[in-house]
Amino acid sequence: MNPPRDPVADLLAQGIGYPVTQFAGASGSDDALVQLALVDPDQVHTEASSTGDDLVRQATRLPSGMVAVWCAPLEQANRVARHAQSILDLEASRQEGRGLLREVESLTVQVMQDFEELALIRALSSNLELPQNAEDTQDFVLESLLPLAAGVGAVSIAILLRDERSGNLMQPLWTGPAVISDTSVRQLVDRYTHEAQSVPVVRNDCFGDQPCGREGLNELVLVPCSSEGRVHGYILACNRIKEDLGDDPWGQPGFTTMHASLMETAANQLASHLQTSRLLRQKEELFTDVIRALVNAIEARDPYTCGHSERVACFARLLASHLGFTSSECERLYLTGLLHDVGKIAIPDVVLRKPTKLNDQERAIIETHTDYGWRILHELDALQHVLPGVLYHHEHWDGRGYPDKLAGENIPIDGRILAVCDAFDAMTSDRPYRSGMSVTRCLQIMQEGAGTIWDPALIDLFLEHLEEILEIRSSHRPRRHPDRPAPVNGQPTVPLAPVAMPSISTSDVPTLPGSGMVI
């Protein structure tokens, strides 16, 4: 079978004006001129003429590896050879130019893709605050994926997140209209989970007879959202937005590897955010649990105040939310509420647990607990934000409180909020020397003290949301401390961390001189 005609051979024939025959190296192995052109490809070779011949054969190797052979008049051989070489040099330059152009186009596409990825990453990163709790995670994810939907030109994007506790996939969240049912989304994820672990899944043929076929679904890209070996969920882009391509029915683009790469980049960044958020929440939960343990230690000294700090913390968080505080600011109030009486750990039991009403001297000792609270906490960088509430929750609106006799709005807002919440819980709770007063009587006292003891605006807010306050009060139960499990068959039931103990020979252990007893 003859090899296909090399276009450069035709170009050469047209340029020199003589017919050109092409040979493959193998087929022309018995032709000395062809062999010479193969061995020395950088020039035109002329076969020595026989006596009396008017024509000579000339040959050169083409860029394709073929050898072009033609016959030229003897007297024009040199001119034809130079002309043929110039044609080949020009064609080589053209091919090099076309190669460079293709390379430039390829680099341009890559640069554009990199630019789109950078723009997408910037869009994903800008103005995004890590979720403070699990409830904020869904809003965070949807806000993160809106730029991605526009970046890949998807009609809508669905994400299935894993529940942090159960590990099960939750209900899909959509950036736009739900293209397919939630059941279909789960089925597609189940079908392509294994494949998606290695490469993004791209399908542009989601018709009824295909595995990905679902009514309303034409194209898809599926990528896992994972980091450090932990799969947080899956991101599914559904259907490319159609472009106006006139009468070209085959020109509608589907998803490409570039779109898959963009989605993979976004998924990796989102997974990193989710992992960071999860670790931060775990750290904050551990931090809060340690604080609760400290509060429990304080309240264990006075059984009449058991649960007081937790209730005050919940009341304060509620009022903060109704004041329009952010979720992180509300958690600050909650943490401050837990710690507001931490200074009482420095108060002597004879005063703290006195079964009768305190005298003036004992009252003065109790009032030092705000200063002690500040002293205990002020060197802890992680708790700087709770200091205003801990120190100033006994200041009065008229400036007659303690410790610094601040007045009005000079009292930090955290201190004013806690003052209201602390007073309500203290007045309605039992004490050794009195029973807790009724809610009605307590509210009467608080209304009378609005503008003198407490911030009047906060008293109004407290009364406005009294139903929620009472619900917290009635539903709150002090945390039950479980009994420590006893050993079973002489073995501890508390998990122990494995410790590698070095083996020690008795020969290495010193003995008492003259006794042979091991020390």
Q: Are the C-beta atoms of residues 72 and 14 closer than 8 Å to each other?
A: no
Helix (H/G/I), strand (E/B), else coil: 22? strand
Helix (H/G/I), strand (E/B), else coil: 237? strand
Question: Measured between alpha carbons, how far apart are the two ends of the chain, in Å?
Answer: 98
Q: Are the C-beta atoms of residues 54 and 38 closer than 8 Å to each other?
A: no
Q: Given this model, what pLDDT does residue 128 score?
A: 54
What would the pLDDT profile of 483-513 be if each residue is shown by its tens digit?
Answer: 777 788 777 776 655 545 445 454 544 444 4
The H helix count followed by the E strand count for the chain is: 16, 9
d(Cα 318, Cα 455) in Å, to the nearest integer? 16
Which segments of 49-200 are extended strands (E)? 55-61, 67-73, 154-161, 173-174
Q: Given this model, what pLDDT does residue 490 score?
A: 77
CA distances from 230 to 226, 271, 323 (A): 5, 9, 38
Instruction: Share the mean pLDDT of the chain.
Output: 82
Structural domains in the chain plus CATH codes: 7-97 (no CATH), 127-245+252-278 (3.30.450.40), 300-475 (1.10.3210.10)
Q: Are the C-beta atoms of residues 28 and 39 closer than 8 Å to each other?
A: no
Q: Given this model, what pLDDT does residue 486 score?
A: 79
What would the pLDDT profile of 188-227 be if each residue is shown by its tens digit?
Answer: 888 888 888 888 889 887 765 555 657 788 888 999 988 7
Q: Given this model, what pLDDT does residue 3 score?
A: 72
* Residue in the block written with tokens 């893709």: 113
d(Cα 468, Cα 472) in Å, to the nearest integer? 6
Q: Given this model, what pLDDT does residue 402 score?
A: 95
Which segments of 12-149 are extended strands (E)? 21-23, 45-46, 55-61, 67-73
pTM here is 0.54
- From the CB of residue 513, how many other CB atoms can be counted at a distance below 10 Å? 7
Contacts of 345 (CB under 8 A, 6+ apart): 297, 298, 301, 372, 376
- In percent, the amount of the chain with pLDDT more than 70 equals 82
Regions in the chain scoring below 70 on pLDDT: 1-2, 25-29, 49-52, 109-136, 207-213, 243-252, 302-305, 477-482, 494-519
* Residue in the block written with tokens 């990193």: 272
